[in-house]
């Protein structure tokens, strides 16, 4: 958000969520919302993260557990299909990986600097010992 | 209006508290969140009764402390309601944190402060300690000298505070017991006149506007905080006085009663003048007239608006006065006194040669008598005759024990 002078913003330390009129915002997808510059959605907090989840759609069963459990609404799902992770807002807490029920897991944590393609190419195989 | 109207006589016998409660009824306050405290209790009690009897459409929120009372008012104001409450002394002190929230969030809440001393020792009577405690909180502060003022200034407070160019909360001060519990004749407005003057509440950035969602109560650090505080100070310094003047003018047209940012009494040719606030202004006026009969050209300056402080107006009214006494009704606790300091600040860098002295008086409801003021005006005239201040700069009026003076 641009650094403005004292006379260049609305009074009352009040922040708008959206620019213009928002009707029925609950049923409007994020990509269709007119987020205001002061909405935290437009700010990236990716640098808070030291480990990141990588999503492997080959094993995903679209159970939506990760979507339900994510505390930052950073799992992107459309039409009940898991699409990926919102890496601007994911804090790397690992809860999505913890709750993922597939074998092998469809989400795994890696160091922030890990190469996604490389990790996907060497994804662990199904673990036969665990149920 | 979907509530019962009340037939009032042209003049009712009301104390300051009931006058304020009637003004809250006529302004049709949406929400009062309150925690009663002496001597302000009858204001919120009065609103609650009007509400229960169907004379007002609103909500009375009973809370567990004054901190919660102002917090409730802040929430209701941010939601988009016309909001008011009342408090005194210890309750005001507990509210202080939230007072800064209300003004920083630019919420037009009206707070009736029935001035009372601050403990310790505990005391329920009137002095200006609580009023002084709120002076840096970013609120507008209006001062009533009698029940009539307490009634009228509530209408003025809503009118100014809710203006979209102002949007700052406003305190209406009256002296505990001396005004709040002293019944006098109060000239009334009809319900239609009163409500018509303040008008229908016009929300701004309200949380109940679902088409324009807003976040109130945000956090800013070193990158934004200064700009917000600077904006608030700018608006207090530049936008409030013109709106107060316009409201005073409109109110005069409606009621015939004229208020001024600085209330002058016999100041046109005054040699000696007392500057004070609250009920003391009325006593000082009476004594000034008696001093004139004795050949001392005495005048009185009363502050009607304490914040923003009327710097330029004070400079103008005191420019030709020869000796000035500034009366502080709050223990300065290691300083000359707030009002003394403000007046000294106004006069510095001007051409005045006025002899300025300060007096601390009336703590904990101690009376300021006419005799005290006769002695005071006489002392000021002696200063004028000698061409210099013959006393210490800070003296105490009406305290027992050896004479107390400093500086």
Q: B327 with B125: CB under 8 angstroms?
A: no
Q: CA-CA distance, B379 to B384, in Å (whole number)? A: 9
CATH of the domain at A66: 3.30.70.20
Are A31 and A57 in a shared domain?
A: no
Q: Is the pTM of this model over 0.95?
A: no
The answer to whether residue B199 scores a pLDDT higher than 80 is yes
In this structure, is residue A126 part of a structural domain?
Answer: no
CB within 8 Å: B211 and A23: yes
Q: B149 with B174: CB under 8 angstroms?
A: yes
Tokens linked to A101: 């029920």
| pLDDT > 70 in chain B, percent | 100
Q: What angle do CA B241, B345, B266 make, to 5 degrees?
A: 65
Sheet holding B355-361, edge to edge: B262-265, B298-303, B272-276, B323-328, B355-361, B394-397, B405-406
pLDDT (tens digit, 9 = 90+) per residue, B98-146? 999 999 999 999 999 999 999 999 999 999 999 999 999 999 999 999 9
Are A57 and A83 in a shared domain?
A: yes
The answer to whether residue A3 scores a pLDDT higher than 80 is yes
Worst-scoring range by mean pLDDT, A20-24, A113-117, B144-148, B153-157? A20-24
Number of structural domains chain A divides into: 2
With bands split at pLDDT 50, 70 and 90, how would you rate the model's confidence at A130?
low
Tell which residue, B286, B383, B368, B385, has the closest CA to residue B325: B383
Rounded to a whole number, what is the distance in Å from the CA of A124 to chain B's nearest CA?
44
Q: What is the largest CA-CA distance in chain B?
A: 70
CA distances from B196 to B11, B19, B21, B27, B363 (A): 19, 18, 17, 9, 39
Rounded to a whole number, what is the distance in Å from the CA of B214 to chain A's nearest CA?
4
Cβ neighbours of B167 in A, within 8 Å: 11-12
Tell which residue, B329, B219, B197, has the closest CA to residue B275: B329
Mean pLDDT of B27-55: 97
- What interface predicted TM-score (ipTM) does this complex get? 0.85
Q: B396 with B361: CB under 8 angstroms?
A: yes
The answer to whether residue B47 scores a pLDDT higher than 60 is yes
Give every CB contact of residue A83 below 8 A, 6+ residues apart in sequence.
A76, A77
Any A CB within 8 A of B209 CB: no
Cβ neighbours of A5 in B, within 8 Å: 227
The mean predicted confidence, pLDDT, of chain A is 93
Are A7 and A59 in a shared domain?
A: no
In this structure, is residue A131 part of a structural domain?
Answer: no
Please give the residue of chain A at the shortest CA–CA distance from B221: A13
Considering CB atoms only, which of B211, B216, B234 is closest to A14?
Answer: B216
Please give the residue of chain A at the shortest CA–CA distance from B226: A6
Are A38 and A55 in a shared domain?
A: no
Q: How many other β-carbons are positioned within 10 Å of the β-carbon of residue A85?
A: 20
pLDDT of residue A131: 55
Q: What is the DSSP string of A57-122?
A: TTT-----HHHHH-TTS-EEEETTEEEEE-TTT-----HHHHH--SSS-SEEEEETTS-HHHHHHT
Are A28 and A66 in a shared domain?
A: no
pLDDT of residue A128: 80
Burial code (b: 16+ CB inside 10 Å, e: under 16) for B251-262 equals: beeebeeebebb
Residue A9 DSSP SS3: coil
* Domain of A79, in residue numbers: 45-121
Q: How many other β-carbons are positioned within 10 Å of the β-carbon of residue B25?
A: 24
Are A66 and A12 in a shared domain?
A: no
- Determine phi and psi for A54, rounding to 5 degrees: -115, 135
Are A90 and A115 in a shared domain?
A: yes
Q: B278 with B228: CB under 8 angstroms?
A: no
The mean predicted confidence, pLDDT, of chain B is 97
Tokens linked to B123: 């005391």
Residues in chain B: 407
Are A18 and A80 in a shared domain?
A: no
The answer to whether residue A69 scores a pLDDT higher than 60 is yes
In this structure, is residue A129 part of a structural domain?
Answer: no
Q: CA-CA distance, B263 to B313, in Å (whole number)? A: 10
The answer to whether residue B351 scores a pLDDT higher than 60 is yes
Q: CA-CA distance, B396 to B362, in Å (whole number)? A: 9
pLDDT (tens digit, 9 = 90+) per residue, B59-79? 999 999 999 999 999 999 999
pLDDT (tens digit, 9 = 90+) per residue, B155-180? 999 999 999 999 999 999 999 999 99
The answer to whether residue B186 scores a pLDDT higher than 80 is yes
CA distances from B126 to B57, B327, B330, B384 (A): 32, 15, 10, 32
pLDDT of residue B375: 98
Top residue of B162, B209, B214 to mutate, by most chain A CBs within 10 Å, is: B214
Considering CB atoms only, which of A3, A9, A12 is closest to B105?
Answer: A12
Tell which residue, B323, B361, B363, B370, has the closest CA to residue B343: B323
CB within 8 Å: B227 and A18: no
Are A97 and A72 in a shared domain?
A: yes
Considering CB atoms only, which of B104, B210, B231 is closest to A6?
Answer: B231
The answer to whether residue B308 scores a pLDDT higher than 80 is yes
In this structure, is residue A4 part of a structural domain?
Answer: yes
The answer to whether residue B2 scores a pLDDT higher than 80 is no
Mean pLDDT of B384-403: 97
Q: Which letter does DSSP use for residue A52 in this model?
A: E
Domains of chain B: 11-255 (3.40.50.970), 263-406 (3.40.50.920)
In this structure, is residue A27 part of a structural domain?
Answer: yes
pLDDT (tens digit, 9 = 90+) per residue, B361-387? 999 999 999 999 999 999 999 999 999
Are A22 and A64 in a shared domain?
A: no
Cβ neighbours of A13 in B, within 8 Å: 104-105, 216-218, 220, 224, 228
Q: B99 with B137: CB under 8 angstroms?
A: yes
pLDDT of residue B261: 98
Mean pLDDT of B239-259: 98
Assign 3-class secondary structure to chain B: CCCCCCCCCCEEEECHHHHHHHHHHHCCCCEEEECCCCCCHHHHHHHHHHHHCCCCCCEEEECCCHHHHHHHHHHHHHHCCCEEEEECHHHHHHHHHHHHHHHHCCCCCEEEEEECCCCCCCCCCCCCHHHHHCCCCCCEEEECCCHHHHHHHHHHHHHHHCCCCCCCCEEEEEECCCCCCCCEEEECCCHHHHHHHHCCCCCCCCCCCCCCCEECCCCCCCCCHHHHHHHHHHHHHHCHHHHHHHHHHHHHHHHCCCCCCEEEECCCCCCEEEEECCCHHHHHHHHHHHHHHCCCCEEEEEECEEECCCHHHHHHHCCCCCEEEEEECCCCCCCCCHHHHHHHHHHCCCCCCCEEEEEEECHHHCCCCHHHHHHHHHHHHHHHHHCCCCCCCEEEECCCCCCCEEC
Are A49 and A24 in a shared domain?
A: no
Are A54 and A12 in a shared domain?
A: no
With bands split at pLDDT 50, 70 and 90, how would you rate the model's confidence at B3?
confident
């Amino acid at each position: 958000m641009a650094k403005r002078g004292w006379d260049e913003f609305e009074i009352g330390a009040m922040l708008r969520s959206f620019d213009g009129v928002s009707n029925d915002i609950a049923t409007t997808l994020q990509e269709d919302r007119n987020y205001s510059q002061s909405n935290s959605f437009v700010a990236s907090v990716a640098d808070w993260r030291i480990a990141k989840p990588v999503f492997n759609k080959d094993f995903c069963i679209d159970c939506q557990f990760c979507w339900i459990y994510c505390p930052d609404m950073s799992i992107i799902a459309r039409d009940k299909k898991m699409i990926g992770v919102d890496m601007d807002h994911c804090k790397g807490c690992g809860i999505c990986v913890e709750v993922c029920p597939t074998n092998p897991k469809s989400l795994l944590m890696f160091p922030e600097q890990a190469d996604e393609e490389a990790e996907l190419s060497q994804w662990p195989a199904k673990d036969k010992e665990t149920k | 209006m979907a509530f019962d109207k009340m037939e009032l006589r042209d003049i009712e016998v009301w104390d300051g508290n009931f006058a304020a409660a009637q003004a809250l009824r006529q302004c049709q306050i949406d929400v009062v969140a309150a925690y009663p405290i002496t001597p302000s209790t009858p204001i919120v009690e009065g609103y609650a009764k009007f509400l229960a009897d169907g004379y007002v459409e609103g909500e009375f929120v009973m809370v567990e402390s004054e901190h919660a009372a102002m917090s409730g008012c802040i929430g209701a104001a941010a939601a988009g309601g016309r909001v008011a409450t009342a408090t005194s002394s210890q309750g005001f002190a507990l509210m202080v944190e939230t007072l800064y929230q209300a003004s920083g969030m630019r919420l037009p809440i009206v707070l009736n402060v029935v001035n009372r001393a601050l403990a310790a020792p505990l005391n329920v009577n009137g002095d200006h300690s609580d009023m002084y405690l709120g002076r840096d909180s970013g609120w507008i502060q209006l001062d009533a000298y009698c029940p009539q003022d307490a009634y009228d200034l509530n209408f003025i407070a809503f009118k100014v505070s809710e203006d979209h160019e102002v949007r700052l909360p406003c305190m209406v001060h009256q002296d505990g017991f001396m005004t709040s519990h002293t019944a006098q004749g109060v000239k009334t407005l009809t319900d239609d006149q009163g409500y018509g003057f303040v008008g229908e509440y016009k929300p701004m950035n309200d949380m109940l506007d679902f088409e324009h969602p807003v976040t109130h109560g945000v956090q800013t650090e070193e990158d934004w905080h200064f700009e917000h505080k600077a904006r608030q100070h700018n608006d207090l310094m530049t936008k409030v006085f013109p709106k107060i003047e316009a409201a005073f003018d409109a109110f005069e047209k409606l009621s015939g009663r004229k208020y001024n940012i600085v209330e002058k009494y016999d100041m046109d040719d005054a040699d000696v003048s007392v500057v004070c606030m609250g009920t003391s202004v009325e006593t000082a006026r009476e004594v000034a007239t008696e001093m004139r009969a004795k050949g001392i050209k005495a005048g009185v300056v009363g502050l009607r608006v304490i914040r923003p402080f009327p710097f330029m107006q004070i400079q103008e009214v005191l420019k030709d006065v020869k000796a000035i006494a500034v009366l502080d009704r709050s223990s300065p606790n290691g300083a000359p006194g707030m009002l003394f300091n403000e007046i000294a600040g106004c006069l510095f860098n001007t051409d005045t040669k006025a002899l300025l002295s300060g007096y601390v008086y009336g703590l904990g409801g101690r009376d300021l008598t006419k005799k005290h003021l006769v002695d005071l005006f006489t002392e000021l005239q002696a200063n004028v005759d000698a061409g210099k201040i013959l006393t210490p700069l800070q003296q105490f009026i009406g305290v027992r024990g050896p004479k107390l003076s400093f500086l």
